[in-house]
Chains A and B, each alone.
Chain A
Amino acid sequence: MSALKVLVHQLEAYAQEELDLQTRTLGLLREQEGALFHGDLEAMRANVERVDAQLAGVAARTQRRHELLRRLGAQFGVAPATLSLSSICTRLGDEGERLSRIASELRETTQSVSRATRRLSALARMHARLNDEILGTLLEDQGVDPRDMARCGALVDAQV
């Protein structure tokens, strides 16, 4: 088997893995959306933890993707940053048919994840603002800064 073919197989495996991850993430986001709708704080917390677990392998997969794109760039004689799954499929022709199908599904799923996260993000921010306002109203008479209370134990950075 040629080196390119091996790299394409590895890229197909990566794309499939990413598709599975995005599909699971989308499922979690839908559950989270339900928890937010119902104000089910326990479910929200559980979902955040599951999303957190989902994100655990992100760094390794990103590293793996960069490596694959670097090696494919070398094969095709182009800079890795110019490569995308679509352009790779075009370069592969018929041999890129399976990768093309996986990439298409991944695009669609990722778009769904993106829409869901934007919606949920807006919803969560709105809740948080409302909470701030109510807490501020309730606690200002007591000389307590509601932000101090709201921050207690709150997650402030989930960046990976």
Chain B
Amino acid sequence: MSSLALNTGLKALLTAQSKLETIGHNVSNASTAGYSRQSLEVGTSPTMRLHGLLQGTGVQANVVRRTVDSLLQTRLSMQGSLVSRIDARVSGLSQAEALFASGSGGLDQLFKNFFSSLSTLSTTPEDTHLRSNAVQSAANLSSKFNALADGSLNIGADAIGRIQAQVGVVNQLAERISRLNGQILSTESAGAPANDLRDARERAVSELAKLTDVKTVEDGRGALRVLVAGQTLVSPVGFKQLEVTTDGRTDISIRVEGGNVDMAISGGEIGGLLSVLRDFLPGLKSDTDALARNFILEMNRAHSTGMPSSGPMRALVGSSRLVDQDSDGQVTDELLSNSGLPFDATSGDLFVNITDLASGAMTKHRVPIDAARTTVQDFLTALSRVPNLSASVDGQGRVEVQADSGFGFDFSPRLDVAPDDIASFGGGRASIAGGASEPYALALGSTLDFNGPLGAFSVAFQPNQFQSMGQATAEELAAALNSDANFQSNGLIANTVGGTLVVQSSGSGTSQSFTVTGGAASAVLGWAPGTTVTGKSLGVNPKISGTYSGAANDAWTFRPSADGTIGSTVGLKVDVFDQNGVQVAQLDVGANYQPGSEIEVRDGVKVAFGLGDVSAAHNDLFRLDVLADSDTADVLPALGINTLFVGNDAASMEVRADLLENPELFASSFNGASGDGGNVLRLLQKSESGIEGLAGLTFESNLTGVVGGVALELSSAREAGESEEFMRQSLESRRDQVSGVNVDEELARMIEAQQAYSAAGEYMRVVNQLSSDLFNIL
């Protein structure tokens, strides 16, 4: 009986000791993150059968429980993951915002500086200093775009570096959780709850959740399975490592060891960094590149079709290199539209102006480009076919264009001031034009019969002179005529004016004459047999002035309404037709017209006619190209010919090297006249124009949108971060209420116990003394 009592007392003592140790453990871990308050559960010891009686054996500590709300804990981990993700995103966005900061040195300011420099230059375009200033402003803007591209890459590289580091931490945590799994299983299989180990594991999971999105599933034995982005990182029996593959700049792939599927991590710091890397930065790069690309293209479109203040150019080398796409050792066989150029060459026309530097006479030539058919060689050939111009590809795959000695060239959309090059409109030559334009339906054996200065002759057309005889072009017909010996010996020449055949005498004056006597082809051309044309002593010589302000390219054909004399014949008119044959103007050049005076045609174009005779019967005409864009194929920006910038995105953008060295090459002039700053104004107009490639926004609006987008995204992320952090703190507070340790409370509990034990002990001493006194009389 006495040993049973001793045992009962010992159990009580041990139980009380456990309780005190639990309190002490709580206090010791009061500041341990993630620690869950523990409490001792006590119960009655099993009874013993002794001498046929059931004898109680006192008290025992059953289990030390963690005070924990597992749902709250899970929510807290998820919230931590969310907050970390947003924090990481805010970090990346903040760096981007700093890159795009407005003000001095900012992209917005450099845009303003550039356009401001153009504005200043436009007032004094011949000023060398202002020209240098404009070029330098362009260079500053390029440098800023380069810095933005580098900065974006650096943000990405920084994010990748941080992801790599944090993946290392994830791997450490996976190992730790796996080890704790083993320890918990080992401890709990022996019947004791592994409270501190579970706390440690929860802390590790919380740490993991701050880095990535985590899901956990605990099996019946207490082992935790940890899934990251849907893939098992830790299983009850082991763990796997995450592996990173990256180029260190823009791309990163995270996989589970031995896996072949990229992990779509969206949560935690890694998820936040990945979202910066994969969602935000590409979008920012795309926006920045789109701005740079469209700016380069628009500036180059304007610059390439202008000319330096010194006038037409003698030679130019493109800055873009053609690429041998089919690797056959040559680039000239590539389609121009698919030759590796930084901008697309599309179907359209390139107009080339050739200027006789001695006389100042300019001729305009159209080089058509068919994106589906025109090869580099076709283009070079077409350019080289322009009189006094040659084009080739240099050893570095760049197109070079050169004018013959004494000539210059440019690509300006300026008006041809003397468009009647062949004097087919009231010129001095004997001249007759087709009554209709091409195609001409010639038949086999068709002839055109003339009576020239040397007598009658007939030109017979052969099928091999035409691609399709029934669809003969004016060019083919003129070539066939010009190749005929009789035609030549009679001093006749054939020309074309906008697809219309013109037959003329080679000389001028009233002595020049020939007669169309017949032939099947004469009917096709609308010429009545017996029509005689005679040269004149005066040429009308139309002069064009003004600047075309129309929105689209067009080709106007001027035809007299009747036979008559400019400024003399009553009611004489000149009808103007667009390229579709629609009349767009009618000019009164009759008795009320003062020869030589300018008449407004339309869209800013004026014309002046000299005194002379014009003939509607002989189909007098001249053609005027009115151009809003002299390079509708964008072949000049694509080839980098006479551009302001090279490159096609923020990273590659630069001012053309030779232009930077020699700002005199800056194409400030529209027409080459001294003091003309027309092209500066065209460049300047781009600042206020809606840009098609930027959804119709101006550069400034687009930039504001890009910068504003970054700021808005950052602001939204910050707001979300604050909100989610508040939620996290709230959850943390609730967790502390449930699982946290209040040191004061625990100490007070201990002191209270101490006092109770002291009092109990003291009373026991008194009671014992009284018992001893009583024994004395027993």
**Interface, chain A (partner B; CB < 8 A):** 18, 22, 25, 29, 32-33, 36-39, 41, 44-45, 47-48, 51-52, 55, 58, 62, 65, 69, 83-86, 103, 106-107, 110, 113-115, 117-128, 130-132, 134-135, 137-139, 149-150, 152-160
User: Which chain B residues lie closer than 8 Å to A41 at the CB level?
Assistant: 752-753, 756
User: Which chain B residues lie closer than 8 Å to A55 at the CB level?
Assistant: 766-767, 770
CB <8 Å contact, B767 and A25: yes
Q: Sample 8 A-B pairs with CB under 8 A, ordered by A number.
A: A36-B757, A107-B775, A107-B778, A120-B760, A131-B20, A150-B754, A155-B759, A156-B758
Residue of A39, A117, A160 near B15 (CB, 8 A) is A39
- Pick out which of these stretches binds chain A: B22-30, B341-349, B473-481: B22-30
* C-alpha spacing A87/B21, complex, angstroms: 52
* C-alpha spacing A157/B766, complex, angstroms: 9
CB <8 Å contact, B58 and A37: yes
CB <8 Å contact, A124 and B5: no
In angstroms, how far is the closest chain A Cβ from the Cβ of B160?
44
If A132-B754, A135-B754 touch, whether A51 touches B763 (CB-CB below 8 Å) is: yes
CB <8 Å contact, B755 and A125: no
Verify if B297 is at the interface (C-beta below 8 Å from A).
no
In angstroms, how far is the closest chain B Cβ from the Cβ of A6?
19
User: Which chain A residues lie closer than 8 Å to B11 at the CB level?
Assistant: 37
CB <8 Å contact, A86 and B763: no
User: Which chain B residues lie closer than 8 Å to A38 at the CB level?
Assistant: 15, 42, 59
CB <8 Å contact, B753 and A39: yes
User: Which chain A residues lie closer than 8 Å to B17 at the CB level?
Assistant: 130
Closest to A69 in B: B777
The 4 closest A-B pairs by CB, nearest first: A124-B761, A121-B764, A37-B12, A37-B59
Verify if B772 is at the interface (C-beta below 8 Å from A).
yes
Verify if B628 is at the interface (C-beta below 8 Å from A).
no
User: Which chain A residues lie closer than 8 Å to B16 at the CB level?
Assistant: 36-37, 39, 123, 127, 130
CB <8 Å contact, B760 and A154: no
* C-alpha spacing A51/B764, complex, angstroms: 9
Q: How many residues of B contact A (CB 8 A)?
A: 48
If A39-B16, A138-B24 touch, whether A110 touches B759 (CB-CB below 8 Å) is: no
* C-alpha spacing A103/B767, complex, angstroms: 19
In angstroms, how far is the closest chain B Cβ from the Cβ of A86?
7
In angstroms, how far is the closest chain A Cβ from the Cβ of B529?
126
Given contact pairs A36-B16, A85-B777, A127-B754, a sample of 19 additional A-B residue pairs in the complex whose CB atoms are under 8 Å apart = A37-B8, A37-B11, A44-B757, A55-B766, A55-B770, A86-B778, A107-B775, A113-B767, A113-B771, A119-B5, A127-B16, A127-B757, A130-B16, A131-B757, A135-B747, A135-B750, A135-B754, A150-B754, A155-B762
Q: Which secondary structure dominates chain A's binding surface?
A: helix
CB <8 Å contact, A158 and B762: yes
Closest to A114 in B: B771
Report B13-53 residues with CB < 8 Å from chain A CB: 13, 15-17, 19-21, 23-24, 27-28, 42
CB <8 Å contact, B777 and A128: no
Verify if B774 is at the interface (C-beta below 8 Å from A).
yes
**Interface, chain B (partner A; CB < 8 A):** 5, 8-9, 11-13, 15-17, 19-21, 23-24, 27-28, 42, 58-59, 747, 750-768, 770-778
CB <8 Å contact, B771 and A117: yes
If A37-B15, A106-B774, A110-B774 touch, whether A128 touches B751 (CB-CB below 8 Å) is: no
User: Which chain B residues lie closer than 8 Å to A159 at the CB level?
Assistant: 766
* C-alpha spacing A150/B752, complex, angstroms: 8
CB <8 Å contact, A130 and B760: no
In angstroms, how far is the closest chain A Cβ from the Cβ of B22?
10
Closest to A158 in B: B762
Residue of A39, A84, A123, A138 near B28 (CB, 8 A) is A138
* C-alpha spacing A110/B770, complex, angstroms: 9
Closest to B772 in A: A114
Residue of B24, B751, B756, B763 near A52 (CB, 8 A) is B763
If A84-B777, A106-B774 touch, whether A127 touches B753 (CB-CB below 8 Å) is: yes
* C-alpha spacing A33/B6, complex, angstroms: 13
In angstroms, how far is the closest chain A Cβ from the Cβ of B186?
28
User: Which chain B residues lie closer than 8 Å to A137 at the CB level?
Assistant: 24
In angstroms, how far is the closest chain B Cβ from the Cβ of A68?
10
User: Which chain B residues lie closer than 8 Å to A45 at the CB level?
Assistant: 756, 759
CB <8 Å contact, A124 and B757: yes
Residue of A29, A119, A128, A160 near B758 (CB, 8 A) is A128
* C-alpha spacing A96/B187, complex, angstroms: 67
User: Which chain A residues lie closer than 8 Å to B8 at the CB level?
Assistant: 37
CB <8 Å contact, B759 and A62: no
CB <8 Å contact, B767 and A124: no
Closest to B42 in A: A38
If A25-B767, A123-B12 touch, whether A65 touches B762 (CB-CB below 8 Å) is: no
Residue of B760, B767, B776 near A36 (CB, 8 A) is B760
In angstroms, how far is the closest chain B Cβ from the Cβ of A152?
7
CB <8 Å contact, A85 and B767: no
Closest to B749 in A: A41
User: Which chain A residues lie closer than 8 Å to B5 at the CB level?
Assistant: 115, 119
CB <8 Å contact, A65 and B777: yes
Residue of B24, B750, B766, B777 near A160 (CB, 8 A) is B766
User: Which chain B residues lie closer than 8 Å to A106 at the CB level?
Assistant: 774, 778
If A62-B773, A84-B778, A117-B771 touch, whether A154 touches B755 (CB-CB below 8 Å) is: yes
User: Which chain B residues lie closer than 8 Å to A119 at the CB level?
Assistant: 5, 9
User: Which chain A residues lie closer than 8 Å to B15 at the CB level?
Assistant: 37-39
